[in-house]
Amino acid sequence: MLCRLLPRTAFRSIRNFSCCSRNLLSSTDLLLPRHLGPSDEQAAKMLKVCGYNTLDELTNKTVPSSIRISRNVTDQKEPRGEADVLEELKKAASLNRCDIKSYIGAGYYNTHVPNVILRNMLENPAWYTSYTPYQGEVSQGRLQMLLNYQTMIADLTGLPMSNASLLDEGTAAAEAVYMCLGMSDGKRKKFLISSDVHPQTIGVCKTRASGWGVTIEVMHHSQFDVSAKDVCGVLVQYPATDGTVDDFRELTKKVQSFGTKMCVATDLLALTMLAPPGEWGADIALGSNQRFGLPLGYGGPSAGFFATQEKHKRKMPGRIIGMSKDTRGKPALRMAMQTREQHIRREKATSNICTAQALLANMSVSYAIYHGPKQLTRIAQKARAAAKCFSAALTQMGYDLPNAKNEHYFDTVRIDNVPADTCLSACLKAGYNIRKLTDTCVCVAFDETTTEKDVQALVSAFAQAKNADNVTITVPTDVSVPDIFTRQTSFLTHSIFNSYHSETDMMRYLYSLQMRDLSLATAMIPLGSCTMKANTAAVMIPITWPEFANMHPFVPLDQAKGYNTMITQMEKDLCSITGFAGCTLMPNAGSQGEYTGLKVIQAYHASRGDTKRTICLIPHSAHGTNPASAVLSGHSVVEVACDTKGEVDVKDLIAKTNKYKEQLSCLMITYPSTHGVFEDKIKEIVSIIHAAGGQVYMDGANMNAQVGLTSPGDIGADVCHLNLHKTFAIPHGGGGPGVGPICVAKHLVEFLPTHPVIKTGGSRGIGNVSASPFGSASILPISWVYIKGLGSYGLKKATQMAILNANYMMKKLAPHYKVLYTGKYGQCAHEFIIDIRPIKAQCGISEEDIAKRLMDYNFHAPTMSFPVPGTLMIEPTESEPLYEIDRFIEAMISIRNEIKEVESGKMHKTNNCLKNAPHPADVVLADKWDRPYSREKAAYPLSYLRLNKFWPYCTRVDNVFGDRNLQCVCPPVKKL
């Protein structure tokens, strides 16, 4: 062990250090080499395999020279140390005034994130690095948690069908509008919203409805014209934004009797005490899960919930998790009714939710599981007790409290006929933010974290504001609400919600679920188009700093200087990286970015009087969110063909452009293409569109192959979205959260989205597309640390390494599988497609069989049948180590050999280790084994698996059965 001489020149050969101007006092904890998989030495070997000497050589043969850039894409060139970057961010964070407590409410409340959930879910890569559970057999843990989630929402709202979360309360409301429109077969073009609904919710509905030709009318719900035949639905809020609780039973009956749907924005905590909308007949209930243990985070991410009646279930937007069974008949979960989703139905999708809020939904239901129904009620009682003793004191002082007066409130007190600013500053002096509703009206919203001291301090502030005598509060013992509002039914009675109330119980439950899931902590997840890169601990650490976690989105801007500093820097860097002039961080996912970008394009055309431009060209290979976004934004989709090389058929593009010249709004194009190729003709394509007066929207899902080498702006596009949860290191959380900012060229900046409460966006902005002004602000530090940590040098190098990893893998697999498309010089971009159709034709083994068999080798499958049916799309990212890449290659070759055995007749055509894959432990060790292959071949096709085996939890899940027998809440417990 002590034999070889160590070269004295160690300094020079440190992995990935051969960059930039560095000296011996430079950081030794650089993020860059930790983020990348292969070392420089390994990269050199891999390049050789690909036939190149340097990364630049490879890049030059991959990215068309016509679009290459040489500038540094951010101001800071040098890669930096983790500690150094985190220190800078900590300094910025400390500018956030988190010493001031906010009782602003308006949909955002303080909450205690239970520490057991914080540590073992939010800060645990086994939970936060996994992807949307497309492969059910290795996702049963989070599928179970999402089923729990749906059960919770169904129970609390009193409506039996819940989806697995939407992006936020605002978009959930907009989805309700769309669903009501759909239920009227598109015929009723009006939707009424009560003026008592949160302003940001109204804003999102207005922005969105414009694309569907729906008029949103806002008025107090007492003014609703209930008998109007052109109204598809109404939306009220319960409790209202000012805290008032109204009895909507009458209204519900009335509107429904005229064929209008009743939608209710509501509050999960309040529903532990208030009769739920489902019980008084509402068609749809929606809202935010934020106060169920999700950090405020300056507005997000949280999750939106959405529930509806049984009869409407097939119209429900979003993802739904359902029970089914595996091939043995054992209960197994999977995503239900996927045929409704945009990645399959494309422009006919019921909604446009791809990345949702899975991690947040899982956290919020974990909160409910940990507390259980009694403790949740106790928490509600606490918030209400605070409101009660506060209003008693204020009443005593002579304040005018309209909703407290008749007990028509839950936890939010409205105070009328006051000088609002005086009240706000008195409270601020005491260390509290409250909400100004009008110049003469304020609200105070209490919550789980409120203490007696807090209430007393606020009471004293109000005494001061009035020069009144202070009143000492008395904590009430009875906090029940008036009988008409009282919830009479139990909820969360399932054992899941009544078993895990101690920390040990909860921790073990989380770990037992985690064990069922394959995450990046286990293995590579080579999902093409998903960019499952490293989410290093360093980038994740700041999101749980209290300075970022505990800030209300509507605090005065001067209290959020830390956030603003970070956000301004982020926007600047993203503009520079994309080659654009303006940016918004508001959209909560890629799909939302697409939507926002298309609305901006529309606004631009409209500003020039070009109102006829409504056609959106979309290549055949596009992701399903593109057509869905186009439709939702009010465009008509015209598909452009692809040629045999998988590239945009320029002839067809020209033909369509000519045909729709007057109506052409834009082209949506993914670059490099969803086929994994840098198309050479991209600039030509852009010119064709521009010449026809159209705009070019670039889908940035594949930015991981562009950063530092080229950019949408340099290519000539007008807008692009970025998936920060792909390219910029935000983890996927098992299906969200995401951040889908858009960057735009100069002429579009003025149309960037604005917000009804907080000033942001363009001078002629399109309104707000999310509930919160900066979208999922609290996870932006992830991308900030990533960008600052890598520097422009590292950002580019990461791109080059992603391209190398993909090309190396392709080169090694090419002798065994047919590679579908490559670029001019035979290179792929950062991902590539292998074609399984010839194999299937030959011997019946399908891409799905290979995907499931990979699980037996400790791998998550690549993307299946997107963008081309019958194929697998493989994306290793720059973060996968050479060891893991080689392990994948070895597994794929081993599987190819297994296929050969089927081809040759050596293995049975249907009863073989591929068709029967995956193989859980209880299958391979069952006393009975009558398969024509051995147990060991089933479980340990390669020898390393004996040392380190991830066990799939079930055999192949039956999708069809599940959709036929839709079961979307936890079934009653049977004795196991």
Ligand X SMILES: Cc1ncc(COP(=O)(O)O)c(C=O)c1O
- Range 354-373, binding ligand BCT (CB under 6 A): 354
Can you tell me which of 589, 630, 698, 833 binds ligand X, judged by CB under 6 A? 589
Print the binding letters for residues 854-893 with ligand X: x by CB under 6 A, - otherwise: ----------------------------------------
Identity of the residue, 422 or 499, whose beta carbon is nearer to its own copies in the bound complex: 499
Residue with tokens 């308006």: 106
Return the H-helix or E-strand segment holding 416. Answer: strand 412-416
Show Cβ contacts of residue 798 under 8 Å, excluding neighbours closer than 6 positions. 32, 35, 36, 704, 707, 708, 790, 878
Cβ 531 to ligand X shortest distance, Å: 8
State the Cα angle at 288 between 286 and 293, rounded to 5°. 140
- Residue 146 engages its own copies in binding (rule: CB under 8 A): no
Distance of CA 108 to CAs 65, 584, 637, 714, Å?
Answer: 49, 21, 37, 40
- Residue 286 engages its own copies in binding (rule: CB under 8 A): no
- Residue 385 engages its own copies in binding (rule: CB under 8 A): yes
321: helix, coil or strand? strand
Q: Which of 767, 819, 817, 974 is nearest to 209 (CA)?
A: 767
Identity of the residue, 157 or 629, whose beta carbon is nearer to its own copies in the bound complex: 157
Q: Which of 372, 379, 359 is nearest to 111 (CA)?
A: 379
- In 3-state terms the chain splits into helix, strand, coil percentages (rounded to 5) of 45, 15, 45
- Check: CB of residue 73 under 8 Å from CB of residue 708: yes
Whole-number Å distance between alpha carbons of 248 and 274: 12
- Selection from its own copies, ligand X, ligand BCT, none that 973 binds (CB < 5 to 8 A by kind) is none
Handedness of CA 295, 296, 300, 304 (dihedral sign): positive
- Selection from its own copies, ligand X, ligand BCT, none that 589 binds (CB < 5 to 8 A by kind) is ligand X
- Residue 769 engages ligand BCT in binding (rule: CB under 6 A): no
Can you tell me which of 139, 290, 355, 778 binds ligand X, judged by CB under 6 A? 355
Query: Which of positions 729-758 make contact with ligand X (CB under 6 A)?
Result: 738, 740
Print the binding letters for residues 837-876 with its own copies: x by CB under 8 A, - otherwise: ----------------------------------------
- Residue 135 engages ligand X in binding (rule: CB under 6 A): no
Cβ 346 to ligand X shortest distance, Å: 12
Whole-number Å distance between alpha carbons of 888 and 390: 62
- Residue 833 engages ligand X in binding (rule: CB under 6 A): no
Cβ 299 to ligand X shortest distance, Å: 18
Query: Which of positions 62-121 make contact with its own copies (CB under 8 A)?
Result: 81-84, 112, 114-116, 118-120
- Residue 930 engages its own copies in binding (rule: CB under 8 A): no
Distance of CA 419 to CAs 192, 445, 462, 558, Å?
Answer: 31, 18, 11, 22
- Selection from ligand X, its own copies, ligand BCT, none that 699 binds (CB < 5 to 8 A by kind) is ligand X
Total of residues contacting its own copies (CB under 8 A): 121
How far from each other are the two terminal CA atoms of the chain, in whole angstroms?
Answer: 53
Cβ 590 to ligand BCT shortest distance, Å: 9
Whole-number Å distance between alpha carbons of 976 and 964: 25
Print the binding letters for residues 517-536 with ligand X: x by CB under 6 A, - otherwise: ------------xx------
Total of residues contacting ligand X (CB under 6 A): 16
Instruction: Check residue 193 and report its DSSP letter.
Output: E
Query: Which of positions 669-708 make contact with ligand X (CB under 6 A)?
Result: 670, 674, 699, 701
Can you tell me which of 241, 352, 433, 529 binds ligand BCT, judged by CB under 6 A? 529
State the Cα angle at 482 between 476 and 484, rounded to 5°. 160
- Residue 503 engages its own copies in binding (rule: CB under 8 A): yes
Whole-number Å distance between alpha carbons of 823 and 736: 32
- Residue 879 engages ligand BCT in binding (rule: CB under 6 A): no
Can you tell me which of 112, 189, 343, 908 binds ligand BCT, judged by CB under 6 A? 343
Identity of the residue, 532 or 729, whose beta carbon is nearer to ligand BCT in the bound complex: 532
Q: Which residues of 193-202 are buried (b: 16+ CB within 10 A; e: fewer)?
A: bbbbbbbbbb
- Check: CB of residue 587 under 8 Å from CB of residue 769: yes
- Residue 76 engages ligand BCT in binding (rule: CB under 6 A): no
- Selection from its own copies, ligand X, ligand BCT, none that 547 binds (CB < 5 to 8 A by kind) is none
Tell me the longest C-alpha to C-alpha distance in the chain. Answer: 93
Whole-number Å distance between alpha carbons of 887 and 893: 10
Six token digits for residue 723? 């998936």
- Check: CB of residue 578 under 8 Å from CB of residue 716: no
- Residue 549 engages ligand X in binding (rule: CB under 6 A): no
Cβ 9 to its own copies shortest distance, Å: 10
Whole-number Å distance between alpha carbons of 818 and 821: 9
- Residue 59 engages ligand X in binding (rule: CB under 6 A): no
Output the residue with the shortest Cβ distance to ligand X. 590
- Residue 132 engages ligand BCT in binding (rule: CB under 6 A): yes
Instruction: Check residue 915 and report its DSSP letter.
Output: T
State the Cα angle at 670 between 667 and 676, rounded to 5°. 145
Residue with tokens 């005229």: 258
Distance of CA 254 to CAs 191, 219, 249, 309, 653, Å?
Answer: 15, 17, 9, 18, 51
- Selection from ligand X, its own copies, ligand BCT, none that 515 binds (CB < 5 to 8 A by kind) is its own copies
- Check: CB of residue 157 under 8 Å from CB of residue 976: no
Q: Which of 322, 348, 349 is nearest to 335 (CA)?
A: 322
- Selection from ligand X, ligand BCT, its own copies, none that 37 binds (CB < 5 to 8 A by kind) is its own copies
Query: Which of positions 12-31 make contact with its own copies (CB under 8 A)?
Result: 13-15, 17, 23-29
Cβ 616 to ligand X shortest distance, Å: 14
- Residue 119 engages ligand BCT in binding (rule: CB under 6 A): no
- Selection from ligand X, its own copies, ligand BCT, none that 488 binds (CB < 5 to 8 A by kind) is its own copies
- Check: CB of residue 503 under 8 Å from CB of residue 509: no
Cβ 738 to ligand BCT shortest distance, Å: 10
Cβ 929 to its own copies shortest distance, Å: 9
Can you tell me which of 91, 187, 220, 378 binds its own copies, judged by CB under 8 A? 378
Identity of the residue, 520 or 895, whose beta carbon is nearer to ligand X in the bound complex: 520
Distance of CA 866 to CAs 620, 674, 833, Å?
Answer: 11, 8, 9
- DSSP code per residue over 107-151: TB------HHHIIIIIT-HHHHS-----SGGGBHHHHHHHHHHHH
- Selection from ligand X, ligand BCT, its own copies, none that 505 binds (CB < 5 to 8 A by kind) is its own copies
- Residue 525 engages ligand BCT in binding (rule: CB under 6 A): no
Tell me which stretch binds ligand X (CB under 6 A): 433-441, 586-594, 680-688, 870-878: 586-594
Can you tell me which of 274, 316, 530, 785 binds ligand BCT, judged by CB under 6 A? 530
Cβ 533 to its own copies shortest distance, Å: 9
Cβ 128 to its own copies shortest distance, Å: 11
Cβ 808 to its own copies shortest distance, Å: 16
CB 295: neighbour CB atoms within 10 A?
Answer: 25
- Residue 345 engages ligand BCT in binding (rule: CB under 6 A): no
Whole-number Å distance between alpha carbons of 128 and 122: 7
Identity of the residue, 697 or 933, whose beta carbon is nearer to its own copies in the bound complex: 933
Positions touching ligand BCT (CB under 6 A) are: 132, 343, 354, 529-530
Positions touching ligand X (CB under 6 A) are: 354-355, 529-530, 589-591, 623, 625, 670, 674, 699, 701, 723, 738, 740
